[in-house]
């Protein structure tokens, strides 16, 4: 199983366990997450693009994978997601380039570029 599949499997397993344990904190977090990413002044797509950039800057691989998937599902293009990753490199400096490599792998697993990237 590759790293992306393992991260997704672990996230799903842990999520299911917390839900099954009826964690009030988990339930509150899921509700907050739902509200935070609803369309508002910013469309969900732009909120997810922001989350991609933050995920790269804080070096959270599970976050990168999840938000790249969600961003693509919300209609973002390969190029838009790539630019969010690039902004994160500028914000995060050298360490963010390490995260950006992982984010590019996650991006390639979700959506293919429309040009020859």
pLDDT(16) > 90:
yes
pLDDT(112) > 90:
no
CA distances from 62 to 6, 12, 37, 52, 117 (A): 10, 11, 17, 11, 24
Domain residue ranges in the chain:
3-110
Which CATH topology does 3-110 take? AhpD-like (1.20.1290)
**The whole model's pTM is what?**
0.85
pLDDT(116) > 90:
no
What's the pLDDT score for residue 19? 92
Give per-residue pLDDT as tens, 44-83.
999 999 999 999 999 999 999 999 999 999 999 999 999 9
């Amino acid at each position: 199983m590759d790293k992306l599949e393992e991260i997704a499997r672990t996230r799903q397993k842990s999520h299911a366990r917390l839900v099954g344990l009826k964690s009030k904190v988990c339930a509150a977090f899921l509700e907050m997450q739902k509200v935070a990413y609803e369309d508002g002044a910013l469309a969900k797509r732009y909120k997810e693009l922001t989350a991609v950039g933050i995920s790269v800057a804080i070096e959270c691989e599970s976050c990168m994978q999840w938000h790249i998937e969600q961003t693509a599902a919300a209609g973002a293009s390969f190029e838009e997601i790539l630019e969010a990753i690039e902004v994160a490199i500028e914000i995060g400096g050298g360490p963010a380039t390490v995260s950006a490599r992982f984010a590019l792998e996650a991006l390639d697993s979700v959506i293919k570029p429309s040009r020859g990237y």
